[in-house]
């Protein structure tokens, strides 16, 4: 093992977790350095808490390997792992005072009273609770209870501290205060923190490294600045802060076209006339009274005062932009917009159309997504052959009434792209279907899915 490998206190290699036929985690690979503050960030159901529980040993890995401090601990029980966990609900013992809550684990180890007292007082000092050792835990505020839970975890001197949304139960002001407390505590302790949250601002505030997850997969790993300024894909761009995400075409190096306008940018290597996704943060758009300097001209649709800036939506032709600026414009004002080249972020498109594996049944029928669909006459393959089926995003029709569709599914992710919505729908056949639509849907909506015959392109495998 070289020096670089020795720096990693946690190594997760090709880890997957299955609950029956459901995949909670798929081939996770992650390395965490000693003393690092790593945040696992993602929406509900993305697998972040499952990953933490695998590290803690509360659940078992279906595939893959976990190493902590150089030792393979994939099947090691929780109490034999060099980690401690702080839970969202703290799990303090209500019948014990603060001192006895913290000392509980030490007493199980049958340490001497002198050693226990020294360690408990040391951990209380570390979390700023020196004068609270004989208080009942029920008499403490939420923030104080959280400090006690952390003290109980660190008194065992773990190499890794796992924190599962520990601030979720606190009010906004206390949560902000505790974020700073945690950051300072991490510096004082010098141990590795692995922190789970769905709060993007919390992740950006606390972390050395952020791991963004969605649907049981890691989408991006990077510093807060990298994650915010250089998102790897549209999910990360949309999930981390506010973003304007638009379809664009890379004309050539340093020149991109979107909103029917050419813009200079700093990106290179995408090729020529290549479809791309364009990301512009709302604070990076300059807004001013209409003038010749404007790259785009639009009309203000809404304006909200946010305390440190105004948040405005501006309609430029068919495209809507979110703008954050100190200058205020009224609804109905005609304004100019300008974006500097360095503030335009270009991303490769993850896909250009839906692609499904299928089987040709006869010249005008193809099977895919667990259903039989009529299609235009096919001559590139013979009945019974495996084929690839392509369908453009805007050719798929979603129905309010599930029974009206050839198959059914659930809306899982909604991305606004300036003049339409790009939806991710999980079909009941457990495959993802991507849909462009002007209709408004909510996350979790049940839908019927219809694909017209003329929208289906059959390609020989």
pLDDT of residue 6: 55
93: number of Cβ within 10 Å: 11
Closest CA to 9 of 32, 29, 38, 28: 32
Tokens 């100190």 belong to: 326
CATH 2.40.50.140 for the 242-348 domain, yes or no: yes
Per-residue pLDDT band at 461 (split at 50, 70, 90):
low
Closest CA to 51 of 194, 191, 156: 194
Please write the tens of the pLDDT for every residue from 58-89: 999 999 999 999 999 999 998 889 888 887 67
Please write the tens of the pLDDT for every residue from 392-422: 999 999 999 999 999 999 999 999 999 999 9
Q: Give CA–CA dist 364/376, Å, rounded.
A: 6
Please write the tens of the pLDDT for every residue from 307-351: 889 999 999 999 999 999 999 999 999 999 999 999 999 999 999
Please say whether the beta carbons of 378 and 366 come within 8 A. Answer: yes
* CATH number of 8-234, picked from 1.10.540.10, 3.40.50.300, 3.40.50.2300, 3.20.190.10: 3.40.50.300
> For residue 273, what are its two tokens?
């006339």
Tokens 């001192």 belong to: 99
Please write the tens of the pLDDT for every residue from 258-275: 999 999 999 999 999 999
Element (H, E) at 114: helix 113-126
292: number of Cβ within 10 Å: 5
- SS3 percent helix, strand, coil of the chain, rounded to 5, is 25, 40, 35
Closest CA to 316 of 252, 263, 254, 267: 263
Q: What angle do CA 123, 127, 130 make, to 5 degrees?
A: 70
**Residue 390 dihedral angles phi and psi, to the nearest 5°:** -115, 135
104: number of Cβ within 10 Å: 15
Question: pLDDT above 90 covers what percent of the chain?
Answer: 68
Topology (CATH level 3) of domain 353-460 = OB fold (Dihydrolipoamide Acetyltransferase, E2P) (2.40.50)
Domain with CATH 2.40.50.140 in the chain: 242-348, 353-460
Q: Identify any residues that bridge with 68 across adjacent strands, giving them in sequence order.
A: 10, 71
Please state the pTM of the whole predicted model: 0.85
DSSP state of 97: B
Domain with CATH 3.40.50.300 in the chain: 8-234
List Cβ neighbours of 283 (8 Å cut-off, separation of 6 or more): 309, 324, 325
- Bin 64: left if φ > 0, else alpha if -120 < ψ < 50, else beta: left
- Cα 119 to Cα 100, 111, 165, distances in angstroms: 12, 10, 26
Arithmetic mean of pLDDT, 168-183: 79
Instruction: Give the relative orientation of helices 98-108 and 142-154 as an angle to the nearest 10 degrees.
Output: 20
Element (H, E) at 236: helix 234-239
Res. 2: pLDDT tops 60: no
């Amino acid at each position: 093992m070289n020096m670089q490998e020795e720096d990693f206190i946690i190594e997760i290699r090709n880890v997957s977790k299955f609950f029956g036929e459901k995949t909670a985690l798929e081939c996770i690979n992650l390395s965490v350095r000693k003393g690092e503050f790593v945040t696992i960030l993602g929406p509900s159901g993305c697998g972040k808490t499952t990953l933490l529980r695998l590290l803690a040993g509360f659940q078992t890995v279906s595939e893959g390997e976990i190493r902590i401090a150089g030792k393979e601990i994939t099947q090691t029980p929780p109490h034999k792992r060099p980690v401690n966990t702080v839970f969202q609900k703290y799990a303090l013992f209500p019948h014990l005072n603060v001192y006895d809550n913290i000392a509980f684990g030490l007493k199980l180890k049958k340490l001497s009273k002198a050693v226990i007292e020294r360690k408990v007082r040391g951990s209380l000092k570390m979390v700023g609770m020196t004068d609270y050792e004989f208080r009942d835990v029920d008499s403490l505020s939420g923030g104080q209870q959280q400090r006690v839970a952390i003290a109980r975890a660190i008194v065992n001197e773990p190499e890794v501290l796992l924190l599962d949304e520990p601030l979720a139960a606190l009010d906004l002001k206390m949560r902000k205060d505790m974020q700073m407390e945690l950051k300072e505590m991490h510096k004082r302790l010098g141990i590795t923190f692995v922190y789970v949250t769905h709060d993007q601002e919390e992740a950006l505030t606390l972390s050395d490294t952020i791991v963004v997850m969605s649907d049981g997969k890691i989408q991006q790993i990077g510093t807060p600045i990298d994650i915010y300024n250089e998102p790897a894909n549209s999910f990360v761009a949309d999930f981390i802060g506010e973003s304007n995400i638009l379809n664009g075409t890379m004309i050539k190096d340093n020149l991109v076209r979107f909103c029917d306008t050419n813009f200079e940018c700093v990106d290179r290597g995408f090729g020529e006339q290549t479809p791309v996704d364009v990301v512009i943060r709302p604070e990076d758009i300059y807004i001013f009274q209409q003038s010749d300097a404007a790259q785009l001209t639009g009309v203000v649709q809404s304006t909200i005062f946010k305390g440190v800036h105004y948040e405005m939506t501006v309609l430029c032709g068919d495209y809507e932009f979110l703008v954050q600026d100190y200058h205020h414009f009224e609804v109905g004002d005609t304004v100019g917009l300008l974006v500097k080249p360095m503030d335009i972020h270009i991303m490769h498109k993850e896909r250009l159309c839906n692609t499904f594996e299928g089987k040709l049944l006869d010249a005008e029928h193809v099977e895919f997504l667990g259903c039989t669909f009529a299609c235009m006459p096919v001559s590139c393959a013979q009945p019974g052959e495996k084929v690839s089926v392509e369908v453009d995003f805007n050719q798929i029709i979603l129905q309010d009434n599930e029974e009206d569709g050839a198959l059914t599914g659930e809306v899982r992710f909604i991305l606004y792209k300036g003049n339409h919505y790009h939806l991710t729908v999980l079909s009941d056949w457990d495959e993802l279907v991507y849909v462009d639509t002007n209709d408004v849907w909510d996350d979790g909506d049940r839908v019927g899915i219809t694909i017209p015959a003329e929208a289906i392109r059959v390609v020989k495998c």
